[in-house]
Amino acid sequence: MGADLTVGGVSTNETRGFRGVEVSTLSNIAILLLISVLAIIHLKSILQPLVVATLLFFLIRPPAQWLEERYGHPLAAYGILMTGVVMAILIGADILYQSLQDFSSEADRLSSEMREKLLWLEDLTIYGYSFDTSALTELVTVERINEIATGFVGTLAGFTGSAVTVFIFLIFIIVEAETLPRRLEAAYPEEMDRFASIVENSGAGINTYVITKASVAFGQAVIVAIILSYMGIPGWFMWASITFLLDFVPYVGAPLSFIPPAIISFILYDPLTAGLILGALFANQVAWGQFVEPQLAGQRLDMSPIVLLILVAFWGWAWGIMGLILGIPLAVIIKLGLESDPRTRPIAMLLSLNPKPLGADSDDESE
């Protein structure tokens, strides 16, 4: 009964698995992945608000815990913070819409000035060489920039329409966070220490990432708003808001965000002034991304670049612009959760850029 059959000198047991994992298990994993992808695509209207609610929870959790320790009412603390978040979103949405209107009203004037600037560029000769702007006029137009900005803001507006769903999810997450530990302790008393360790380790890392990334993105956006407002760039608040959101897209998000205002700067100002504006925007991104963020987080984003590229492509395909923004924070949260449990830590190591060898943490603790 238990004997292995041999076919062609190869045991059938050896053909039924890969590195100790049975083919049936691999098949189950493949089926689960397929179901997950289909759920991500077809349950977008539910999963997107849930992801945003989760990020908001980790963002407001530290100040809520501080208020709870000070006043002793956890739900009241979360209620105060949620009210503040709602007010900030409503005020920001109103200013963002007005900023888009201001830019759209300037589109015709900017188009006229862009044609004049391109004509000047065609007549410019440097060491006998002249510029061919025919390809540039087809690739970059004020109308196209306006369409991109309108589409981006429209995506945000469409998602803001589900804000009620976001806050319903947030309320339930807050309630679960307060009551779940007691239920787990009652149901699995012998496993409570392991659960507590997982929650503590993953919660601290997730809080650090979410707060750090939001703080860095907000800091960049404030500096961009100051620069563009001072230089009189139309739609400065809209470009600053896009900078804030695209900063959550690794590597390419922040550089892409200042391309439209840089183009508008070259339309409105002489090349030297426009170059200085572009240099200030680039220096702002480098300063926050390369110096401030590592100091706040203690380390850079420890994920493989190829993994991030695949995730950006997947979430962008599945959820569009909001997928690009939400996908990477969600992946980081999942990775931190995998790191907190020894059984899933090898998966997290595969996602890391500089993984620690198994046992390194225990060696550090013993020292």
Between β-strands 6-7 and 10-11, what pairing exists: parallel, antiparallel or unpaired?
Answer: antiparallel
Query: SS3 for 3?
Result: coil
Look at residues 214, 220, 225 and name the one whose alpha carbon lies nearest to residue 287.
Answer: 220
pLDDT of residue 158: 67
Per-residue confidence at 165, pLDDT binned at 50, 70, 90?
Answer: confident
| DSSP, residue by residue, 108-137 | HHHHHHHHHHHHHHHH-EETTEE---HHHH
Residue whose tokens read 């959820």: 319
pLDDT of residue 15: 46
The two three-digit tokens of residue 60, written as one number: 């407001």
Going by C-beta distance under 8 Å and a sequence separation of 6 or more, which residues neighbour residue 219?
288, 292
Longest dimension (CA), the chain: 89
Per-residue confidence at 129, pLDDT binned at 50, 70, 90?
Answer: low
Domain definitions of the chain by residue range: 46-356
Query: SS3 for 17?
Result: strand
Per-residue confidence at 11, pLDDT binned at 50, 70, 90?
Answer: very low
Q: 140-159, pLDDT tens digit by residue?
A: 677 778 887 887 777 776 66
Going by C-beta distance under 8 Å and a sequence separation of 6 or more, which residues neighbour residue 162?
45, 48, 49
As a whole number, mean pLDDT of residues 44-69 equals 82
pLDDT of residue 301: 59
Query: SS3 for 6?
Result: strand
pLDDT of residue 222: 93
Per-residue confidence at 19, pLDDT binned at 50, 70, 90?
Answer: low
Per-residue confidence at 229, pLDDT binned at 50, 70, 90?
Answer: very high
pLDDT of residue 367: 43
The count of C-alpha atoms lying within 13 angstroms of the C-alpha of 349, restricted to the half-sphere facing its C-beta, is 13
Q: 171-208, pLDDT tens digit by residue?
A: 888 888 777 777 777 777 777 776 776 666 666 667 77
Q: 324-353, pLDDT tens digit by residue?
A: 778 777 777 777 777 767 777 777 787 777
Q: 34-43, pLDDT tens digit by residue?
A: 888 888 888 8
For the cut 80, the answer to whether the pLDDT of residue 105 exceeds it is yes
For the cut 90, the answer to whether the pLDDT of residue 130 exceeds it is no
Query: SS3 for 347?
Result: helix
Residue whose tokens read 């601290």: 204
Residue whose tokens read 């090898």: 346
C-alpha–C-alpha distance, residues 17 and 26, integer Å: 8
pLDDT of residue 357: 63
pLDDT of residue 216: 87
Query: Which residues in 221-236 are b (16+ Cβ under 10 Å) and which e?
Result: bebbbebbeebebbbb
Q: 58-80, pLDDT tens digit by residue?
A: 878 888 878 777 776 777 777 78
C-alpha–C-alpha distance, residues 274 and 358, integer Å: 51
Helices assigned H by DSSP within 161-302: 163-187, 192-230, 236-246, 253-257, 259-268, 271-286, 293-297
For the cut 90, the answer to whether the pLDDT of residue 112 exceeds it is no
C-alpha–C-alpha distance, residues 319 and 325, integer Å: 10
Listed range (89-93, 190-194, 310-314) with the worst mean pLDDT: 190-194
**Average pLDDT over all residues of the chain:** 76
Q: What is the DSSP letter of 189?
A: G
Residue whose tokens read 């976001």: 166
